[in-house]
Amino acid sequence: MLKNITVTVPKLTLPGGVSAFWNALFPEFKAHEHVTFTPLEIGGHGKNIFGPLIDIWHLKKATDKPTDLLILNPSLGSRSFFRDAFFAKYLLRKNIPFVLFFHGWNLDFEKRIDEKYISFFQKSLGKAKKIFVLSEDFKSKLLAWGYKGEVVVSTTMVNRSLFTNVAVQEQEITKSSDFSILFLSRLIKEKGIYETIAAFEKLQGKHKNIELIIAGSGNELEPIGKLVANNDQIVLTGHVEGQKKITLYQNCDVYCLPSYSEGLPTSVLEAMAFGKPVITTPVGGLKSFFKDGTMGYSVRPEQAIDIEEKIAMLMDHPELSKEMGNFNYNFAHEHLLSDKVAQKILQELTPFL
């Protein structure tokens, strides 16, 4: 018998981690003929005070049709937490089972729940049949709040379409430098972009033919442009996607994302899938996922000297860099591509269908 699953998502035509995640998964689920996944777009109302009411109305319309399970995709932040908590209460009244997939996790808001919202969580989102998170720390917190169901530590994933007709390890790549460092992310301070630039400038004093590619957009784009304007070995590309993004991953020697906080960034997994060593920080989901010394190197947040030292180590030991890249390629293609993740998620949902 065909089972119907509805998934709340942000607008799928807009950039963002959650929309990219589900845009990659929905086509994979179509291979499973016994279940249908239907997106329900919510949010994106800006300052419209009627936004939450509009979302509830859309939820009501969606669940007027036969619904066997609903997947909520909250972040642990005030707006998403309360909106999805009221969604949960509505679903409980309609006797529709639901699961949660926490993508973002705000540590400051976590403290607010500790102080005053544990009971509210238990009576709303805490009634989920199962909860997916990206970190063992997040799992521990949910259990501390009294959640009685199963918490699954999951991953984000790499869209399999990136590798259509691309033989990553076999391509001969023409490079413009001896060693290329890629930073690909939203350009905000918390992603560690300024520490990456500082580390690169130190490396320039010791190594001649190196480059730093900074790809992405964000509120720091203009200040960064001014900061690096006179450095012809630092390239700002702006937002990239499609073949341009693929080429950047193929051409780089190391991927660098020294964030102050994270869930489990897709870009780290993408770099791994392209066979590149990664330099990142032990925060959020990376803390339990990332294997320091095997997948690349963990560095302390806000410490440019750590980034400089680890990049220099990879430059001085190309055989080690290649070994890490090969491990990452094999691990990602075995565990992290969208078809593999879709299959795992479906297995986790099967008991409720």
Please report the DSSP string for 146-197 in residue order: T--SEEEE----B-GGGGTT--GGG-----SSSEEEEEES---GGGTHHHHH
pLDDT on residue 172: 46
Q: For each of the chain's 353 residues, which pLDDT tens digit applies?
A: 789 999 999 999 987 889 999 999 999 999 888 999 999 999 888 888 888 889 999 999 999 999 999 999 999 998 899 999 999 999 999 999 999 999 989 999 999 999 999 999 999 999 999 999 999 999 999 999 999 999 999 999 999 999 875 554 444 455 667 899 999 999 999 999 999 999 999 999 988 899 999 999 999 999 999 999 999 999 999 999 889 999 999 999 999 999 999 889 999 999 999 999 999 999 999 999 999 999 999 999 999 999 999 999 999 999 999 999 999 999 999 999 999 999 999 999 999 98
Domains 3-157+337-352 and 161-335 share a fold: yes
pLDDT on residue 170: 47
pLDDT on residue 353: 87
Asked if 228 and 234 count as a contact pair (C-beta separation under 8 A), the reply is yes
Sign for the CA dihedral angle at 189, 282, 255, 250 comes to negative
| Triad 151, 157, 161: Cα angle to 5° | 150
Q: What's the CA gap between 125 and 249, in Å, rounded?
A: 38
pLDDT on residue 14: 84
Sign for the CA dihedral angle at 109, 110, 114, 120 comes to positive
Sign for the CA dihedral angle at 111, 117, 119, 125 comes to negative
Give the pTM: 0.90
Looking at the DSSP assignment, which residues form a beta bridge with residue 12?
none
CA atoms lying within 13 Å on the CB side of residue 38: 18
Q: What's the CA gap between 203 and 210, in Å, rounded?
A: 9
Which residues make Cβ contacts (< 8 Å) with residue 10, sequence separation at least 6? 16, 18, 19, 41, 42, 43, 44
| Triad 201, 203, 207: Cα angle to 5° | 120
Host H or E run for residue 139: helix 136-144
Region of 256 please: left (phi>0), alpha (psi -120 to 50) or beta: beta
Architecture of the domain delimited by 3-157+337-352? 3-Layer(aba) Sandwich (3.40)
The count of other CB atoms within 10 Å of the CB of residue 187 is 22
Sign for the CA dihedral angle at 67, 68, 70, 71 comes to negative
Q: Where are the domains of the chain?
A: 3-157+337-352, 161-335
Assign domain 161-335 one CATH number from 3.40.50.920, 3.40.50.1700, 3.40.50.300, 3.40.50.2000. 3.40.50.2000
